[in-house]
Amino acid sequence: MARPIVTIVGRPNVGKSTLFNRMAGKRISITEDTPGVTRDRIYAECEWLDNHFTLIDTGGIEPNTTDTIFAQMRLQAEIAIDMADVVLFMVDGKEGVTAADAEVAQMLRKAKKEIILVVNKMDKFVNNNNIYEFYNLGLGEPVSISSSEALGIGDLLDIIIEKFDDTMDTADDDDSIKIAVIGKPNAGKSSIINRIIGEDRVIVSDIPGTTRDAIDTKFERNEQKYTIIDTAGIRKKSKVSETVEKYSVLRAFAAVERADICILVIDADKGVTDQDIRIAGYSHDNNKGMIIVVNKWDLIEKDNSTFNEFQDEIRKSLAYATYAPIMTVSALTGQRVNKILDAVDEVYSFRNLRVSTGVLNDIITEAVLMNQPRMVRGKRLKIFYGTQVAVNPPKFLIFVNDSEIVHFSYQRYIENKIRDSFEYKGTPIIIEFRSRGEKGN
């Protein structure tokens, strides 16, 4: 069973991103009064009353615009609606029903999804009788909220989880290693999954976009549980050329959010593409483990330097992910595919590795002795001590005299020294510098 997906849609500037941030519990979306600020999809994992779901924020829908940016935003919003189990259609309670609202409502009725009509900006200064005109949209009873004032959010969440059905996985008791298989369409993701799990549970085709939805497959090996997530292509063959890149990226983003480790599948015949770089960057930015799998290696003419040259190309393109191991496989012949889960186990063990405070401070002390921090604005950084505060991903807090003068190059230096001792293969590590006495200490 897959986790429910809830998508927020509506015209630009009705407050979608503010609601998203309220429900996600943190400020993720950029919120401004300029229509069209949120252009790409933004995802967050949310929980309400022990029900877990994925929330998607979308750019505003402008039904009849000729503006290129708004047209792209409309396309991506349509894709997000297609992915959703529940759609929150947000309208502006102060402005009332507009012609654009009516057109969006018509589009949503055709989508045949669970729709919740959300009337925003209904704070204490607004006449609540305004809500009745929204019944004319034909989407059922409106739910009034004020996302900026946090009014009605709990009631809205109650209604959302009532829309979930028994086919959706809303629990958070899954102790499996969650693996997202990501990459450019037609790179061989589904074929690799079939080889890994040993049976054809996922349709395999040479047409990009065959896999429409993310498919979760649970299995065990050597008493270790895994959940492997195949990521999507597009809806219709006729639209492969215009939407395959956008749709597969969006679905990959949703899968990355849920994963512990991402397997980035690269087509050896095509090399690293812009889409590979974008998806891998999203995995890195979300601090997920990463393994780079170069598929179709059997099709490459090789000499003694072929692998090293290909590896150099990958490292150059994905310079931020030098921690990620690189493997070459052939899903067609099965060559080395059986080694992928071994790599997953190894990366997962590093993601859960704990370093004792004593050992960590020995590493930091030696690093400082070998390379003193530079003076910044006439002040030298002093490191008092460090401690590991989390795993999966590993996170370290280092207490200093002034966190404002930590140079990024010195932070990278400390990270490299920690990696010299413990490697942390396949996973980013988070290092946060805090001033002593700073809030949260």
Instruction: Find out whether 298 is annotated in a ligand binding site.
Output: yes
Instruction: Find out whether 232 is annotated in a ligand binding site.
Output: yes
Contact 299, 269 (CB under 8 A): yes
Record the tokens describing residue 45, joined without a space. Answer: 């994992």
Angle at 75 between CA 73 and CA 77, to 5 degrees: 70
Instruction: Find out whether 36 is annotated in a ligand binding site.
Output: no
H-helix or E-strand spanning residue 104 = helix 99-111
Instruction: Find out whether 297 is annotated in a ligand binding site.
Output: yes
Instruction: Find out whether 285 is annotated in a ligand binding site.
Output: no
H-helix or E-strand spanning residue 433 = strand 430-435
Instruction: Find out whether 48 is annotated in a ligand binding site.
Output: no
State the Rg of the chain over Cα.
24
Q: Give yes or no for residue 392 having a pLDDT over 60.
A: yes
What is the pLDDT of the chain when averaged over all its residues?
Answer: 82
Q: Give yes or no for residue 239 having a pLDDT over 90.
A: no
Instruction: Find out whether 296 is annotated in a ligand binding site.
Output: yes
Instruction: Find out whether 16 is annotated in a ligand binding site.
Output: yes
Instruction: Find out whether 121 is annotated in a ligand binding site.
Output: yes
- The DSSP string of 328-340 is E-BTTTTBTGGGH
Q: What is the pTM of this model?
A: 0.65
- The DSSP string of 34-99 is STT---S-EEEEEEETTEEEEEEE-PPP-TT---HHHHHHHHHHHHHHHH-SEEEEEEETTT---H
CATH of domain 5-162: 3.40.50.300
- pLDDT tens, residue by residue, 290-327: 999 999 999 888 888 899 999 999 999 999 999 999 99
* CA 404 from centroid of its chain's CA atoms: 29
H-helix or E-strand spanning residue 178 = strand 177-183
- Where do the CATH 3.40.50.300 domains begin and end in the chain? 5-162, 177-351
Instruction: Find out whether 302 is annotated in a ligand binding site.
Output: no
Per-residue confidence (pLDDT) for residue 183, from 0 to 100: 84
Instruction: Find out whether 77 is annotated in a ligand binding site.
Output: no
Per-residue confidence (pLDDT) for residue 233, from 0 to 100: 35
CATH for 357-435 (3.40.50.720, 3.40.10.10, 3.30.300.20, 3.40.640.10):
3.30.300.20
Q: Does domain 177-351 have CATH number 3.40.50.300?
A: yes
Instruction: Find out whether 15 is annotated in a ligand binding site.
Output: yes
- Where do the CATH 3.30.300.20 domains begin and end in the chain? 357-435
Per-residue confidence (pLDDT) for residue 63, from 0 to 100: 65
Inter-helix orientation angle 68-83/240-258, to 10°? 60
